[in-house]
Amino acid sequence: MKKEFQIKEPCSAARENMQEIPGGSFCDLCAKKVYDLENTTDDEIKEFLESNTSVCGRIQPHRLYIPEEKSEVLYPFFQLPFRKIAGGIFLSILFTSNLNAQKQKRDTLEAREIQGMIMVAHRPNDEGFEYPESVITRNLNIKPSGNTGNLIEYQFITILTPFKRFRSSSFSKNQINIPAENVRMSNIFIFEGTDSQNGVLNDNKSFLLVNKRNIKEDGSLNLNLDQAKKFSFNPKNKDFIYFLDGEEITKKEFEQYQQENKIDSYFLPEIYAEELLGDDYYFENGAIVSYRK
């Protein structure tokens, strides 16, 4: 038997210790998403690897090998299945006993905010005015639980969307008003404490991915702060992708806005950056997302 996949750096994290997220799970050890590839076909995996240069995933052990059979037809090297792996694309594989787990599908319907102008014009023949449809707003009532220390330290809650953020008020820190169209299938909640004096990103902030299905019809949402994660920011020798209100900016522009104290910023590791901004970018080192104050 020949080995079909090359494992560059096998991960030692146990599957049962990972957090379930859409399309797979989140590995705390690597701070990366582990894709669930068990129920995908060989062609689907090949197509997936063509657009992802370095991923972690779960796959059945027997699919790691192919029979050593001699073929009468000699195929060029690049036409063999998954040979892109040998050219630098590696799949780190986590073995699991639960090989029959149902594949989780990522929700592809993402809410997008369209910047533009709304005009109200008088129609001829005295037919009256036409008004745009009202925006449906959801009032989320967050009910936190968990360690007492975690419950005390945060001052307000923030929800990140690609183009803007939504925050609770200081006098009602557990309630957030957000347009229904901005509630995504997977949402990034941030429990924010007092800003640090040194200005380091992510200080006194805890992050939690929340599935839309956990929000009840009346807007109530139970969250366990013990599951929230802290992501330390280390800028040394790393290239990050910078965004301001959903638009990519340069590092120089980011530093200028930051120096002028015009923005609030967050460092997001790879899995959180992909959940917020999609997979069109290569977020191996994470991303820094900023919003105008």
Chain segment 258-269, per-residue pLDDT in tens: 999 999 999 999
Distance in Å from the first CA to the final CA of the chain = 59
* Cβ count within 10 A of residue 21: 19
The CA distance from 85 to 4, in Å, is: 9
Please say if the pLDDT value at position 164 is more than 70.
yes
- Give me the chain's average pLDDT, please: 77
* pLDDT average, residue stretch 141-157: 85
Please say if the pLDDT value at position 250 is more than 60.
yes
The three-state (H, E, C) secondary structure of 37-105, written as one string: CCCCCHHHHHHHHHCCCEEEEECCHHHHEECCCCCCCCCCHHHCCCHHHHHCCEEEEECCCCCCCCCCC
For residues 170 and 74, the model is more confident at: 170
pTM of the model: 0.57
* pLDDT average, residue stretch 201-220: 94
What is the DSSP code (8-state) at residue 214? G
Please say if the pLDDT value at position 225 is more than 70.
yes
pLDDT of residue 105: 39
* pLDDT average, residue stretch 185-190: 96
Low-confidence winner among 58-72, 160-174, 194-208, 234-248 (lowest mean pLDDT): 58-72
Burial class (CB in 10 A: 0-12, 13-18, 19+), 119: exposed
Q: What percent of the chain has pLDDT over 90?
A: 42
- The helix or strand, by DSSP H or E, that contains position 276, with its residue range, turns out to be helix 270-277
* pLDDT average, residue stretch 227-253: 92
Please say if the pLDDT value at position 233 is more than 70.
yes
pLDDT of residue 186: 94
Please say if the pLDDT value at position 123 is more than 70.
no
Please say if the pLDDT value at position 157 is more than 90.
yes
pLDDT of residue 113: 45
Paired tokens of 274? 């992909």
Please say if the pLDDT value at position 107 is more than 50.
no
Please say if the pLDDT value at position 136 is more than 50.
yes
pLDDT of residue 106: 42
Paired tokens of 262? 């015009």
* pLDDT average, residue stretch 195-213: 88
Please say if the pLDDT value at position 242 is more than 80.
yes
pLDDT of residue 177: 95
Paired tokens of 6? 């090359």
